[in-house]
């Protein structure tokens, strides 16, 4: 029997790829989206198998995050896996932006990338306890390497890594494993615009493979970390950056 899987931020990019790998494995997937119902519907329509659903929610709003989890459990008959993938690096907030822009960026980015994952995880844990479930977070190489043009994004991902490790200890006794995958630049979604021209050449040159990750590679790592075989990887932050940054 397939599992019930919630993927946040699944209307495109890495999230859509994650939804696809779980669906191909025979799981039923909740495709969460923030604003684009049309894109989410296209993802759902393209998933193999049956039982897939979609739900829109602003995860920066605690009650909407709670409704997402409860709707998922109700529609999929429970909850086995949560993938906290939803994230944003907008609005722009380089250090020379206005103080007003700086405040808005930090508030929004931390609210979505960190608090949203915390809200969803808290609401999901009672359901996950029933099935020795899994939480997989999508972090970032930026948590370690830094991101001067988007410091709130890097900080939120570093905090997400730390949150996941704390949670792994807190819920391990319930049989819930919590892990994180930390990609570098990925050729999809918010990563693709950085891969043009000389900037793109420089980014690809950071890896000895002279390329960046694909969304499918990230999705495959998430699928493994959510598997029964990966239980003892709980607390792990899996770097997926092609040796472009080593720690």
Q: What sign has the CA pseudo-torsion 78, 55, 187, 151?
A: negative
For the segment 6-23, the average pLDDT, to the nearest whole number, is 97
- Assign domain 4-240 to its CATH architecture: 3-Layer(aba) Sandwich (3.40)
pLDDT band (50, 70, 90) for residue 194:
low
Q: Which of 118-122, 204-208, 238-242 has the lowest mean pLDDT?
A: 204-208
Q: Note the pLDDT of residue 202.
A: 84
Is 60 exceeded by the pLDDT of residue 191? no
For the segment 118-142, the average pLDDT, to the nearest whole number, is 97
Instruction: Tell me the HSE value of 77 on the side-chain side, using a 13 A CA sphere.
Output: 8
- Cα dist from 207 to 105, 137, 170, whole Å: 30, 23, 35
For the segment 132-160, the average pLDDT, to the nearest whole number, is 96
Q: Note the pLDDT of residue 190.
A: 67
Q: Note the pLDDT of residue 188.
A: 74
CA gap 139, 218 in Å, rounded = 11
Residue 50 corresponds to which tokens in the numbers above?
């049956």
CA gap 31, 49 in Å, rounded = 14
Give the CA-trace dihedral at 164, 167, 172, 175, to 10 degrees.
-80
The residues that are catalytic are: 153
- In sequence order, the β-bridge partners of residue 193 are none
For the segment 50-78, the average pLDDT, to the nearest whole number, is 98
Kindly report, residue by residue over 218-237, the tens digit of the pLDDT: 999 999 999 999 999 999 99
Give the contacts of 92 (CB within 8 A, at least 6 positions apart): 101, 105, 149, 150
pLDDT band (50, 70, 90) for residue 192:
low
Q: Note the pLDDT of residue 187.
A: 85
């Amino acid at each position: 029997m397939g599992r019930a899987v919630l993927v946040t931020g699944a209307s495109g990019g890495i999230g859509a790829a994650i939804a696809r790998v779980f669906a191909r494995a025979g799981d039923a997937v909740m495709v969460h989206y923030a604003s684009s119902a049309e894109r989410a519907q296209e993802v759902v329509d393209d998933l193999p198998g049956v039982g897939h659903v979609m739900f829109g929610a602003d995860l920066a709003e605690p009650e909407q995050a709670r409704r997402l989890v409860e709707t998922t459990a109700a529609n999929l008959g429970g909850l086995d896996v949560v993938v906290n993938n939803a994230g944003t690096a907008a609005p722009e907030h380089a250090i020379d932006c206005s103080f007003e822009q700086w405040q808005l960026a930090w508030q929004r980015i931390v609210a979505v990338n960190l608090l949203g994952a915390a809200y969803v995880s808290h609401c999901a844990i009672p359901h996950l306890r029933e099935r020795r479930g899994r939480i997989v977070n999508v972090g970032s190489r930026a948590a370690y390497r830094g991101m001067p043009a988007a410091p709130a994004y890097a900080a939120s991902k570093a905090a997400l890594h730390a949150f996941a490790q704390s949670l792994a200890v807190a819920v391990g006794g319930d049989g819930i494993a919590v892990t994180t995958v930390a990609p570098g630049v990925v050729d999809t979604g918010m990563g693709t615009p950085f891969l043009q021209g000389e900037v793109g050449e420089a980014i690809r040159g950071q890896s000895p493979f002279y390329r960046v990750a694909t969304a499918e590679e990230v999705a495959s790592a998430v699928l493994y970390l959510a598997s029964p075989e990966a239980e003892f990887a709980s607390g792990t932050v899996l770097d997926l950056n092609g040796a472009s940054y080593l720690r």
